[in-house]
Structure 1
Amino acid sequence: MSTSPDLARITAAASGEHPASRSTTFSAAWKDLRRGFGQRELWLALGWQDIKQRYRRSTLGPLWITIATGVMAFALGLLYSQLFGMNIAEFLPHVAVGLIMWGFIAGCIKDGSEVFIANEGLIKQLPSALSVHVYRLVWRQFLFLLHNLVIWVALLLIFQIPVGWKVLYAVPAMAVLVANGVWVTMFFGIVATRFRDVAPLLDSLVQLAFYMTPIVWTAKTLERQGGAVAERAFLAKLNPLYHYLEIVRAPMIHEPLDPMSWWVVLGFTGVGLLLALLAMKQWRFRVSYWV
């Protein structure tokens, strides 16, 4: 059965792509990412609007983000510092910064798995690159992260944590974290749109990963106990999420950083971007039919 040129153009517009870009090549996938980034006025505005809409008619507005994270960090930091016998001045900043960064990572994974489903109307009606919806979500999560950095600043002042020039290492680390947020959202967004059981599965896995990642506990705690327990600290470092947190957390709380963490993160970033491009190459133009 033949398809008229007008129908082809309408279908392409509904999927957010031009007819010429519907090829299954890495070049076309990369072009979608570049085109979406070029439409930053759109996704910057939409991401900010998401936050305003979420806290509409709220007196404190986005400050609730910071308050909720701060209360949780204080409660967990106080509890586990007593359980592990650690100095709260050392442990609370570790927990707080870990929770801030974890909020960004978990948000990109869990919300990212439903990014295209949640934007069904826009995908079918708005002629834009598919990646626009990914950038919008990552931008929104990054705004949450920036709000929560107020907690880190408060802890610096309360516990008189020294801040040297090495704290600047956290800036490129956050940039890498954002880049990972893009590929994570794109990859899981496409897969979870096709297979709807993936989203609830990811939600459970993220919850499990929270307890397996040194956020409310530290690898140093295991090392200090010695013996077989100290050997388990090595197993904790096999978790790639540990390294994602460390490249940001260590310079922010004035702790030494193992250069190996950067190599692990850069390696996973490269593999992840390749996976996202592969998923886009194969399935990006089908998303509008799956939502």
Structure 2
Amino acid sequence: MSLSPTRRDWRLMLNDVVHGITAWHVWVLLGFSDIRQRYKRSKFGQFWITLSMGIFVAGIGIVYAFLFNQPIREYLPFLAVNMVVWTLIAGIVNDATLTFVQASVYLRQEAMPKTVFVFRLLVRNLIAFAHNLIIIPIVWICFLVVPSPAMLLAIPGLALMMVAAFLSAMIIGILSTRFRDLPQIIQNLLQIAFFMTPVMWRVDQMGAAAWYIVGFNPFAVFLRIVAEPLHGRIPGVATYASALVVIAVLTLIAAPLFARFRARIVYWL
């Protein structure tokens, strides 16, 4: 049996993507419903997301400011921005392993576009990101940080991240549905990626070695195109170019993979 997608496979894949996009009201509703269900019967409700992130940033920020010998008034705003962005990245990667498994109730009953559930995942994590985003201006006010006009560049950076997230979630979702040991492997790799990505440390602290650690790290690329504008810095052209290269590679993997195995997902559930 050939592993290459047929012309019919490509046509069905494109139909799935188009119908998935036009069914935006479905995946938006599902995304909001996921967040409401997660914090159902809770006093603070969805703001537990913000509260837990705020406590983490405050506690870890004070400790690591002393460990790295950094002024707290500089390190805490740096950490708050980076952790909020990293939590979005990590949340998408973790949730991607269950993209189609969690949708089994729907997929077994109705022929819905598979991309609806990838968009659902993105909506769910963007809602959590919006809750965490509240922490950043609070920290800025506490430490008298003046926002820079460069922060507007975080918007196109976030858009590029969502394109890469959509493609990554599609790849991880398909492979994790087929190989059920993969989610544990991805979680372990994500923990390693956290320490190899400049979330809690600055790139200039690593010296010459930083280029190898950050330059070949796709997590670092997408962290920087969103976080650096919020730090008041304009990401370099090389950073945007790296993001586009990563997106191109992901497209070359995700498109044929989804075209070839889209119909098999239901049978693997």
Band the TM-score falls in, shorter-chain normalisation: over 0.9
How far apart in 2 are the matches of 1:258 and 1:104? 22
Is 2:239 the partner of 1:269? Answer: no
How far apart in 2 are the matches of 1:161 and 1:247? 20
Measured after TM superposition, the shift of residue 28 of structure 1 is 2.8
Q: Which amino acid aligns with 1:231?
A: A
1:82-128 CA-to-partner distances (Å, cap 9, x unmatched) read: 11111222211221111111111111111111111111111111331
In the alignment, which residue of structure 1 is the partner of 2:9? Answer: 24
1:112-166 CA-to-partner distances (Å, cap 9, x unmatched) read: 1111111111111133100001100110001000110001111221222222322
* Two-structure CA RMSD over aligned residues (Å): 1.6
2:227 to 230, 249, 269: 249
The count of corresponding residues between Structure 1 and Structure 2 is 263
Q: Secondary structure at the match of 2:248?
A: helix
Is 2:175 the partner of 1:191? Answer: yes
In the alignment, which residue of structure 2 is the partner of 1:231? Answer: 208
Matches within 5 A, 1:1-291: 23-25=8-10, 27-222=11-206, 230-238=207-215, 239-291=217-269
When residues 197 and 189 of structure 1 are mapped into structure 2, their CA distance, relative to the original with a 3 A threshold, is same
Q: Which runs of 5+ in 1 are unaligned?
A: 1-20, 223-229
**1:100–1:149: 8 Å Cα contact kept in structure 2?**
yes
Q: Which amino acid aligns with 1:29?
A: M
How far apart in 2 are the matches of 1:193 and 1:177? 23
Measured after TM superposition, the shift of residue 192 of structure 1 is 0.8
**2:153–2:234: 8 Å Cα contact kept in structure 1?**
no
How far apart in 2 are the matches of 1:270 and 1:35? 23
Measured after TM superposition, the shift of residue 182 of structure 1 is 0.9
How high is the TM-score relative to the length of structure 1?
0.86
How high is the TM-score relative to the length of structure 2?
0.93
In the alignment, which residue of structure 1 is the partner of 2:3? Answer: none
**1:112–1:137: 8 Å Cα contact kept in structure 2?**
yes
**2:198–2:214: 8 Å Cα contact kept in structure 1?**
no
1:178-227 CA-to-partner distances (Å, cap 9, x unmatched) read: 111111111100011111111110011001111111111111222xxxxx
Q: Which amino acid aligns with 1:24?
A: D
Q: Name the stretch that deviates more: 72-81 or 27-36.
A: 27-36
